[in-house]
Amino acid sequence: MNKLYIYTVASIIFCCNIFSKALGQSPYFVKYFGLQEINEQARAILQINDGAIFLGGYSNISGNTDPALLKLSRKGDSLWMKTYGDTVFDVALSLNYSGNADLVICGERLNEITGTDLIVLKIDSNGIQLWESVIATNKNESGKYIEQTQDGGYLICGYQSDDFGFNDIILVKLAASGALLWIKNYGGVDNEYASQVHELADGNIILTADTRSKGAGGYDVEILRLTSTGEIIWDYTYGDDLENGCQGIYIAANGDLISYGETETFPFSPFDFYIERISPEGSSIWKNVFGGAGSDAAFSLVEDDAGNFILTGYSNSYNGGEAIDIVIAKTDAFGELIWANSYGNAGIDIGYGIVKADQGFLIAATSFNEGSNDFCTLYVSEEGLLTGLMEAANSFYQPVHLSVNPNPSNGYFEIVFDEAVNNLKVEIFDLTGRSVFESFENGMNKKVPIRFEGSQGMYLLLMKCSAGIYRLPVELY
């Protein structure tokens, strides 16, 4: 629900300084990186032992679309950005660790002769490319996710076209040097797209995908357990006759498989989040579907030390139904929603990756801004909040400034604008995104009293008026 309006690259640099002053000692931040009319998309994030943060994605800053790696300090300040590619279209879709602070990226490259090829790059922490591996056939290949295995090699999953106009799952094993060891395909009479792969402690492999060849109809979730050489141990589908999409699978602390993504709730409905817990043997333990009136999808998920789940993706269910925003949501160990917060600018914003960080979470996102896409990263607290940030955002970006006094309060407070505004709508949401209060003030108003009888805790205050849209956290004691 927290919305930041960012207009130019100059304002991005300046606003970061404003935010730092407003936040005081708070370590949390949101940062945007990009140039007007340059398309840059962040797809993954990780943090190495010295605190440095890496965003992986792609950029056309060189004139061609290339894989891009952005290195940030632990405070989110840009240290450098480097691109890797040739004179054609290349994109990076996954970023992961590779031991000794090295990194690996996988994605796809447009080849004018063979079509789309799967690419893998190994890069050190200074951004120097160590090697490149390319899977090129007379078919189309794309790498969606990469992970290092216990033997030092790599597993990459994605899709490969077949001879009938459809796509199959592709699973690639590389040696530590990047040399190809083997390729496996899994598919049927329709489309399959792999989204994530993990090696288990016993050397088996868990692979997840979307499938239209199997299941109950439409797209369903497919999960395969494989041997270390890619032979099928079991292969199950999960879903119904509606459209279901799996964005990944997380290995829980107890060894269960946590599938997540988006699903319809009735034919052609907006998507809702889903989380499904599955046993290591492939049996569904529970599935929970949640969301709001808008569209919701989970693109990345982690488990905290208490067994709760924190996800990021997109949603417009928790921001008053406006454009799709980055969402950060927390559920309990059974997938029941605890809270959901959304962040973004006036366009479309999507969270693609989340990792655990000291006292919070780091998120990789892409933000549509002034006709181009920008890298975005957030460092949020364990409650998914940017402490103090919204006060700074409102005082800097909005044409009319406001304050809420007192805050915290007992539920009786005033919204005070520095200039009179017209037709003010006030709405208060709890941390699950549920609207718990609403009022409308006709005519011109500079000071509006609010009498809200809620329970103790944090709320998000949404105000819409002639001067724009404002969001502030408010606390009741």
pLDDT, residue 75, reads 92
pLDDT, residue 16, reads 34
424: part of which helix (H) or strand (E)?
A: strand 412-429
How far is CA 348 from its chain centroid? 13
pLDDT, residue 397, reads 34
CB neighbour list of residue 469: distance below 8 Å, 6 or more residues apart: 3, 320, 322, 462, 463
Alpha-carbon gap, residue 40 to 32, rounded angstroms: 11
Alpha-carbon gap, residue 417 to 448, rounded angstroms: 9
Alpha-carbon gap, residue 136 to 156, rounded angstroms: 14
Phi, psi of 321 (to 5 degrees): 80, 20
pLDDT, residue 5, reads 28
Per-residue pLDDT of the chain in tens (477 residues, 90 and over written 9): 333 322 222 222 223 332 333 334 468 999 989 877 788 999 999 999 999 999 999 998 888 899 999 999 999 999 999 999 776 788 889 999 988 789 999 999 998 887 899 999 999 999 999 999 999 999 999 999 999 999 999 999 999 999 999 999 999 999 999 999 999 999 999 999 999 999 999 999 999 999 999 999 899 999 999 999 999 999 999 999 999 999 999 999 999 999 999 999 998 899 999 999 999 999 999 999 999 888 999 999 999 999 999 999 999 888 777 789 999 999 999 999 998 988 987 788 999 999 999 989 999 999 986 677 899 999 999 988 886 444 333 322 344 577 888 988 999 999 998 888 888 889 888 766 678 999 988 888 889 999 999 988 888 888 877 666 677 778 888
Closest among 341, 330, 236 to 278, alpha carbons compared: 236
Alpha-carbon gap, residue 227 to 229, rounded angstroms: 5
Nearest-10 crossing angle of helices 389-397, 9-23: 140
Q: Is there a common fold for 2-396 and 398-476?
A: no
pLDDT, residue 372, reads 78
* Sheet bearing 192-199, strands edge to edge: 192-199, 205-211, 220-226, 232-238
Token digits of residue 45: 């994030």
Q: Phi-psi region for residue 12, left (φ > 0), alpha (ψ -120 to 50) or beta?
A: alpha
pLDDT, residue 395, reads 29
CATH architecture of the domain with range 398-476? Sandwich (2.60)
- Alpha helix (H) ranges present in 284-440? 389-397
Using alpha carbons only, give the angle 15, 19, 22 rounded to the nearest 5 degrees. Answer: 140
Phi, psi of 150 (to 5 degrees): -65, -25
Token digits of residue 186: 């899994």
Token digits of residue 90: 């290349």
9: part of which helix (H) or strand (E)?
A: helix 9-23
| Residue 322: how many other CB atoms lie within 10 Å | 15
Per-domain boundaries in the chain? 2-396, 398-476
User: Is-above-0.85 flag for pTM?
Assistant: no
Closest among 20, 78, 54 to 386, alpha carbons compared: 20
Closest among 310, 312, 272 to 294, alpha carbons compared: 272
Q: Label residue 189 exposed, middle or buried (CB < 10 Å: 0-12, 13-18, 19+).
A: exposed
Q: CATH: 2.130.10.10, 3.40.50.300, 3.40.1260.10, 3.90.1150.10. Which one for 2-396?
A: 2.130.10.10
Alpha-carbon gap, residue 419 to 88, rounded angstroms: 53
